[in-house]
Amino acid sequence: KAFMSCWSYIIPGLLVYAAISYFFFRFPTLLHPKKKFRSRLITAAIERKGVLHVSHRGGSREHLENTLVAFRHAIACGTNTLEMDVHLTKDGQVVVCHDDILIRLCGLQTNIKNYNYADIPPFQEQVPLHFSTNMAYDSTKEKPEDRRMPLLREVFEQFPHVLINIELKHPTEELLIKTNELVKEFKRENTLIW
């Protein structure tokens, strides 16, 4: 009898829980109002093209990835968003680069955080594409100044009205602070996804 009276509380409780869960699943904005996370730039980009076209690392098969020349080419081809990765160098510079270990890009088995920005070597002549083991980009096609990793500051200066998606690679408090300082300095709060 005690077992049956226990179920007389549990079953109705489960039914009420299921009904409430279903109700808030169907109408989540009753608890949490829908956030307006889109900036005017994102909205305009979507309205103009119908989609948000993101150039991942600027297009690593067409130019050296995460370089200014790659980003310029992506914009010329009609992209409305640049995606890039950032790291922090030994001297506290926010550098645009995907890999933390420089073996694929520069041929060095060392971490980017061990270099001052000025000491980071240029890209090696054949840069293996990150997504394909059989393909490499011939960086000798690029001018010497385009075979280097740019600073995030340079990207912000050269593309002030382009939506940018930044991924903080191995985020530390210092990288977060330095990136945020650049975002504020260049007033990129509404033209940035990070």
What DSSP letter does each residue of 35-50 carry, written as one string? P----HHHHHHHHHHS
Distance CA 78, CA 136 (A): 24
**Mean pLDDT of the 51-76 span:** 88
pLDDT tops 80 at residue 122: yes
pTM over 0.85: no
Cα separations (Å) of 67 from 34, 73, 92, 158? 36, 10, 19, 12
Residue 32 has pLDDT above 70, yes or no: no
Helix (H) or strand (E) holding 174, with range, is helix 173-185
pLDDT digits (tens, 9 = 90+) for 132-141: 778 888 888 8
